[in-house]
């Protein structure tokens, strides 16, 4: 199993099945592999740690490249997954728990102030959307 921790703003979008992916930098530990169970938390390694969902299967793992334009504000203007350009940046941002690419860009600026013209290269991890019964929807 592989555990990921999320900013509290993503708890409800994950629980509701709106956020079904995460973008992570490459680090010392390997990322999940398709089929592995993921543990999704908020506040991991703190007294306020909560588990967002029961273990959920990893659906896909891909290389992700994010490019930015630099005007008055840093704006995400291109994304590639496994070398293929994402055509609908808003749809991608929504799957990542944002309202649209502008919301995603603002979050990126706030949490990655060192963003430069080289862009970002990392890993995209997708998981299986929670079943409707797990989301509190009557069958």
Q: How do residues 76-130 score in pLDDT, each as one tens digit? A: 999 999 999 999 999 999 999 999 999 999 998 888 877 777 889 999 999 998 8
Q: Is the pLDDT of residue 133 over 50?
A: no
> Which pLDDT score, from 0 to 100, does residue 5 have?
95
* Distance between CA atoms of residues 126 and 96, nearest Å: 9
User: Vertex 65, ends 108 and 89: CA angle to 5°?
Assistant: 65
Retrieve residue 31's tokens: 């990322």
Count Cβ atoms below 10 Å from residue 131 Cβ, excluding itself.
12
**Can you give the residue ranges of every domain in the chain?**
2-127
Output the CATH code of domain 2-127.
2.30.130
Indicate whether this model's pTM tops 0.75. yes
| pLDDT band with cut points at 50, 70 and 90 for residue 38 | very high
> Which pLDDT score, from 0 to 100, does residue 132 have?
46
Q: Is the pLDDT of residue 73 over 80?
A: no
Specify whether the CB–CB gap between 52 and 6 falls below 8 A: yes
Q: Which residue has the higher pLDDT, 45 or 6?
A: 6
* Distance between CA atoms of residues 110 and 10, nearest Å: 15
């Amino acid at each position: 199993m592989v555990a990921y921790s999320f900013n509290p703003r993503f708890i409800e979008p994950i629980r509701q099945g709106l956020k079904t992916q995460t973008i992570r930098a490459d680090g010392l530990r390997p990322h999940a592999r398709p089929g592995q169970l993921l543990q999704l938390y908020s506040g991991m390694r703190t007294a306020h740690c909560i588990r967002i969902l029961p273990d959920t299967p990893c659906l896909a793992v891909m290389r992700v490249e994010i490019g930015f334009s630099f005007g008055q504000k840093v704006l995400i203007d291109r994304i590639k997954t496994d070398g293929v350009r994402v055509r609908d940046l808003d749809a991608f941002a929504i799957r990542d728990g944002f309202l649209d690419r502008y919301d995603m860009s603002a979050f990126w600026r706030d949490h990655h102030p060192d963003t430069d013209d080289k862009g970002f290269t990392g890993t995209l991890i997708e998981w299986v959307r929670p079943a409707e019964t797990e989301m509190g929807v009557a069958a």
